[in-house]
């Protein structure tokens, strides 16, 4: 881990201290958990946006879906 210094509003510090006390953990652990949570949300949002973009390409480009119309029986007949 690396040490980081942050400046908090008094109300933020009070809320974090209260949460740390309620969860029987350190202030640092509470802050790390909150940071991890926000990073996961951001990553999920980026993945969601990428999936929507890919979906648009998938729906517009017939070449991307051309193999999905091939029947399994057709493949066995050719082989």
The 3-class SS string of 9-27 reads CHHHHHHHHHHHHHCCCCH
Residue 68 lies in a domain: yes
Residue 66 lies in a domain: yes
Helix, coil or strand: residue 73? helix
User: Of 37, 31, 6, which Cα lies nearest the Cα of 17?
Assistant: 31
Residue 4 lies in a domain: no
User: Of 25, 31, 34, 33, which Cα lies nearest the Cα of 5?
Assistant: 31
pLDDT at 59: 81
pLDDT at 13: 98
Residue 2 lies in a domain: no
pTM higher than 0.85 for the full model?
no
Range of the domain at 44: 10-78
Residue 65 lies in a domain: yes
Mean pLDDT by 10 residues, the chain (79 residues): 96 98 98 98 96 85 68 58
Residue 3 lies in a domain: no
| Number of separate domains in the chain | 1
Residue 50 lies in a domain: yes
């Amino acid at each position: 881990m690396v040490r980081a210094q942050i400046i908090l509003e008094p109300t933020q510090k009070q809320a974090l201290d209260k949460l740390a006390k309620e969860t029987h953990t350190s202030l640092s652990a509470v802050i790390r958990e909150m940071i991890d949570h926000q990073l996961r949300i951001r990553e999920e949002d980026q993945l969601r946006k990428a999936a929507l973009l890919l979906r648009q390409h998938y729906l517009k480009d017939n070449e991307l879906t051309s193999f999905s119309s091939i029947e399994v029986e057709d493949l066995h007949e050719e082989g």
